[in-house]
Amino acid sequence: MTLRIPKDILSHLEHTGEAYYPRESCGLLTGVRIDADTYSVENFHFIPNVQVDSSADYLMEPQAMHNIIMSHKPGSFRELVGLWHTHPRNKAIPSLIDLGLAQRSGRKDVPYVITSVEFKHTFAYMFTGEEFVKTELEIV
Ligand SMILES: [Zn+2]
């Protein structure tokens, strides 16, 4: 899997993470599924983090998340191509909380994208159903 992301959207993600520091921020990436192994990001949808302790966890505001997902169903003009959140102080490596969220959601068709605010890097992962495997993030 390769996730293509425009440089300006990537820097927008980084700036969003900085703006909410030291809280985690989150959102959805939509765009085009070019084929099963290549997705292209075209838009970032900020979703408020409604987790009470948001320094080490996030919970996307359910209605806002639902609205974006329903308007970007598979086969739509633009589809969901990524789930994004920040790690304000830690590296962009999935946490045990992230693993729990992925196991509960069961989502294996969309990359999980994490931006580390402190370490200034962004990585993408696919969830196999059991673990996260790093995938290519191609900056275009
Ligand atoms: Zn996380």
pLDDT tens string for the chain (140 positions)?
Answer: 999 999 999 999 999 999 999 999 999 999 999 999 999 999 999 999 999 988 889 999 999 999 999 999 988 889 999 999 999 999 999 999 999 999 999 899 999 999 999 999 999 999 999 999 999 999 99
* Beta carbons within 8 Å of 6's beta carbon, 6+ residues apart: 41, 42, 139, 140
> Domain 2-139, what fold?
Cytidine Deaminase; domain 2 (3.40.140)
CA–centroid distance, 77 to ligand 1, in Å, is: 29
CA-CA distance, 120 to 40, in Å (whole number)? 22
Q: What's the 114 CA to ligand 1 centre distance in angstroms? A: 7
pLDDT of residue 22: 96
Q: How many CA atoms lie within 13 A of 120 on its CB side?
A: 1
123: left (phi over 0), alpha (psi -120 to 50) or beta: beta
- What's the longest Cα–Cα distance across the chain? 38
Q: How far is the CA of 76 from the centre of ligand 1 (A)?
A: 28
Residue 83 Cα to ligand 1 middle (Å): 11
